[in-house]
């Protein structure tokens, strides 16, 4: 009887709640994105979709009306092929590899970090072209 009681108590102790998962420093929880435009944080989203075909990963964050779509080629070293920013932080614009703007990719700690400069327009002045710095952090 005593042995059964000890086994029950030990079994219940083993079922206690585990601590919540914390990603490594600099990383995001899977399925999360953080975006900044012009140095201003425009928010965190859990609307993340990542699709990989061969060496190219296409990453979508947010929604169609306000979000980002990017493609990263990891064939040799991670390279941003394009970044499309839709109505975030008052900015809509694009980066295209070898066409305009500039971008770099870091893939440390299981998180894509794409930083660069995109050309486009401010939503409050759509007749005038402008460029904005961006940072997109995504954990697929």
Residue 17, pLDDT score: 53
User: In residues, how long is the chain?
Assistant: 140
SS3 letters for 29-52?
A: CCCEEEEEECCEEEEEECCEEEEE
Residue 101, pLDDT score: 73
Report strand pairing: 125-139 vs 102-106. unpaired
Fill in the DSSP letter of residue 110. Answer: G
Return d(Cα 71, Cα 43) in angstroms, integer. 21
Residue given tokens 């206690």 in the structure block: 16
* Lookup: tokens for 127: 């007749």
Residue 54, pLDDT score: 97
Fill in the DSSP letter of residue 123. Answer: T
Residue 11, pLDDT score: 44
Does the pTM surpass 0.95? The reply is no
Residues 6+ apart with CB under 8 A from 122: 90, 91, 128, 130
Residue by residue, pLDDT tens for the chain (140 residues) are 434 433 434 444 444 455 565 666 667 899 999 999 999 999 999 999 999 999 999 999 999 999 999 999 999 999 999 999 999 999 999 999 999 878 999 998 889 999 999 999 998 888 999 999 999 999 99
Return d(Cα 14, Cα 34) in angstroms, integer. 36
Residue 3, pLDDT score: 43
Residue 6, pLDDT score: 39
Closest C-alpha among 58, 62, 57, 93 to residue 75? 57
- 83 CB burial (10 A radius; 0-12, 13-18, 19+): buried
């Amino acid at each position: 009887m005593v042995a059964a009681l000890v086994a029950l108590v030990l079994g219940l102790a083993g079922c206690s709640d585990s601590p919540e998962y914390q990603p490594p420093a600099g990383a995001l929880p899977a399925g999360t994105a953080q975006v900044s435009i012009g140095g201003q944080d425009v928010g965190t989203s859990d609307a993340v979709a990542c699709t990989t075909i061969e060496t190219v990963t296409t990453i979508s964050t947010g929604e169609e009306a306000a979000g980002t779509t990017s493609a990263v080629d990891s064939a040799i070293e991670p390279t941003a092929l394009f970044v499309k920013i839709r109505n975030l932080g008052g900015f809509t614009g694009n980066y295209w590899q070898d066409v305009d703007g500039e971008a770099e990719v870091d893939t440390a700690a299981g998180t894509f970090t794409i930083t660069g400069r995109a050309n486009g327009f401010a939503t409050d002045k759509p007749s005038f072209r402008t460029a904005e710095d961006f940072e997109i952090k995504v954990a697929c």
